[in-house]
C-alpha cells in the first residue's frame, strides 16, 4: 500500500512539471523560421553570452546554456516558456526583468519569432 501511495504522489508532483495543456514534447506552434532564427542568433552574437547547440563558437558563459531549451518550464526563471513570452523576452528583456544581463537586442517581432523557432528545436 505504501508503494502505491508513493507512486500516486509521484504522479501528482510530476504532473505539475509540464506546461498546461501540452505534453512534455509537444509545443505550441511558433510562427517563425528556425533556419532564419539560427542565422539571426549568429548575427546578433547570442553565442558570446550563451552556449547554444548547433551554433558554432557559441560558448558564452554569461547567460545560461540553452541546451534543451524547448523542455524548460520557465524563461528567465519567471515567465512560463511559451512562444509569445519568449518573443517578448528576446525583444525587451529589460521590461520583464530590469537589470538583467540580457541586453535589448533591437530585434523586430519577426526576428524574435524566428529566433524563438530555432530555440524550440533544442530538445
Report DSSP letters for the chain, one per residue.
-HHHHHHHHHHHHHHTTSPTT--TT------S-HHHHHHHHHHTTGGGT-B-TTSTT-B--SS---TTGGG-SEETTTEE--HHHHHHHHH-HHHHSTT-SSPP----HHHHHHHHHHHTT--
Residue 12 pLDDT more than 70?
A: no
Tell me the domain boundaries of the chain.
Answer: 32-119
Residue 9 pLDDT more than 50?
A: no
The predicted structure's pLDDT at residue 29:
67
pLDDT tens by residue, 80-118: 999 999 999 999 999 999 999 999 999 999 999 999 999
The predicted structure's pLDDT at residue 31:
86
Nearest residue to 69 (alpha-carbon basis) of 118, 21, 18, 29:
118
Res. 18 pLDDT band, cuts 50 70 90: very low
Residue 5 pLDDT more than 50?
A: no
pLDDT tens by residue, 49-86: 999 999 999 999 999 999 999 999 999 999 999 999 99
Residue 119 pLDDT more than 90?
A: yes
Residue 1 pLDDT more than 70?
A: no
User: What topology is assigned to 32-119 in CATH?
Assistant: Immunoglobulin-like (2.60.40)
Q: How many CB atoms neighbour CB 69 within 10 A?
A: 21
Full-model pTM = 0.76
| C-alpha of 47 from chain center | 15
Amino acid at each position: 500500500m505504501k508503494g502505491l501511495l508513493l507512486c500516486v504522489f509521484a504522479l501528482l508532483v510530476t504532473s505539475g512539471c509540464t506546461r498546461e495543456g501540452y505534453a512534455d514534447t509537444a509545443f505550441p506552434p511558433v510562427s517563425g523560421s528556425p533556419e532564419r532564427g539560427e542565422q539571426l542568433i549568429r548575427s546578433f552574437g547570442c553565442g558570446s553570452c550563451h552556449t547554444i547547440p548547433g551554433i558554432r563558437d557559441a560558448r558564452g558563459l554569461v547567460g545560461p546554456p540553452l541546451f534543451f531549451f524547448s523542455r524548460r518550464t520557465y524563461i528567465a526563471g519567471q515567465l512560463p516558456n511559451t512562444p509569445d513570452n519568449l518573443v517578448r523576452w528576446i525583444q525587451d528583456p529589460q521590461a520583464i526583468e530590469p537589470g538583467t544581463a540580457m541586453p535589448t537586442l533591437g530585434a523586430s517581432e519577426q526576428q524574435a519569432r524566428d529566433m524563438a523557432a530555432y530555440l524550440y528545436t533544442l530538445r
